[in-house]
């Protein structure tokens, strides 16, 4: 019976190896197919996310553009009201110039002199000479 048990063991081993040789390639193909499907689903999801993000950016830019247009209309209307109250565009520009001068005491104004050339801070920062004893 010992020889019969060895024969059964050998036959069982051969059948098991043959079965493994048949199942392993099938399992490998199935596993690769599942991995491919998972990769495809992942890629589709990433594409959907990218499209939704692009659509959100587009909508945001549209709304920002509309807000900018509305702000520009408001500024234009305010400028027109102020200009009309100050006697036209020249009066408004003069008003803006006076405001700019009053805001900062450090501004330098270049006044044209003879031949249309300004005197460029020639004496700025100079102190009167000290008398020497």
Q: What angle do CA 105, 106, 112 make, to 5 degrees?
A: 100
Q: Count Cβ atoms within 10 A of the Cβ of residue 86 and give its class: 0-12 exposed, 13-18 middle, 19 or more buried.
A: middle
State the chain's mean pLDDT as an integer: 83
Task: Decide which of 107 and 19 is more confident.
Answer: 19
Task: Give me 95's structure tokens.
Answer: 């008003």
Please report, for the chain, how many H helices and E strands are present, in that order: 2, 0
CA atoms within 13 A on the CB side of 53: 6
- The CA R_g of the chain, rounded to the nearest whole Å, is 44
| C-alpha–C-alpha distance, residues 38 and 44, integer Å | 10
What does DSSP assign to residue 116?
Answer: G
| C-alpha–C-alpha distance, residues 121 and 52, integer Å | 59
Where along the chain do its domains lie? Answer: 2-104
pLDDT digits (tens, 9 = 90+) for 48-100: 999 999 999 999 999 999 999 999 999 999 888 888 888 888 888 888 877 87
- For residues 22-44, give the mean pLDDT: 93
3-state secondary structure of 128: coil
* Residue 84 confidence (pLDDT): 84
């Amino acid at each position: 019976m010992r020889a019969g048990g060895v024969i059964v063991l050998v036959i069982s081993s051969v059948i098991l190896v043959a079965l493994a040789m048949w199942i392993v390639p099938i399992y490998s193909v199935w596993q690769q197919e599942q991995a491919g499907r998972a990769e495809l689903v992942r890629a589709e999801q990433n594409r959907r996310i990218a499209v939704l993000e692009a659509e959100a950016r587009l909508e945001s830019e549209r709304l920002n553009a509309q807000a900018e247009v509305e702000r520009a209309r408001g500024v234009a209307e305010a400028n027109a009201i102020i200009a009309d109250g100050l006697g036209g565009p020249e009066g408004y520009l003069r008003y803006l110039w006076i405001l700019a001068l009053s805001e900062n005491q450090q501004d330098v104004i270049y006044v044209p002199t003879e031949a249309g050339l300004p005197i460029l801070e020639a004496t700025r920062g100079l102190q009167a000479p000290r008398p020497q004893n």
